[in-house]
Amino acid sequence: MSLDILKRLRVFGAVALLGFGLAACGSDDDDVFVPPPLPKNIVEVAQGNPDLSILVEALVAADLVDTLSSPGPFTVFAPTNDAFVALLGELGVTKDELFAQTALLSRVLTYHVLASKVPAADVAGVLGKAITTVETGIFKIDDVAGELTITDESNRTSKITATDVEASNGVIHVIDTVILPLLP
Question: In the chain, what are the domains?
Answer: 42-175 (2.30.180.10)
Task: Report pLDDT for 65.
Answer: 96
Whole-number percent of the chain with pLDDT over 70: 82
Cβ 86 vs Cβ 159: under 8 Å: no
Closest alpha carbon to 44 in 72, 84, 22, 15: 72
**Lowest model confidence (mean pLDDT) among 33-47, 120-134, 138-152:** 33-47
Arithmetic mean of pLDDT over the chain: 86
- 9-40: pLDDT as tens digits: 444 444 444 444 444 455 455 678 777 776 89
Whether the predicted pLDDT of 173 surpasses 90: yes
Interatomic CA distance for residues 111 and 178, integer angstroms: 10
Closest alpha carbon to 81 in 170, 175, 184: 175
Cβ 160 vs Cβ 149: under 8 Å: yes
Is the model more confident about 41 or about 20?
A: 41
Whether the predicted pLDDT of 3 surpasses 80: no
Cβ 96 vs Cβ 58: under 8 Å: no
Residue 87: phi and psi, rounded to 5, are -65, -45
Give the residue-averaged pLDDT of 85-108: 95
In 3-state terms, what secondary structure has residue 58?
A: helix
How sure is the predictor about 114, in pLDDT bands with cuts at 50, 70 and 90? very high
Task: Report pLDDT for 17.
Answer: 43
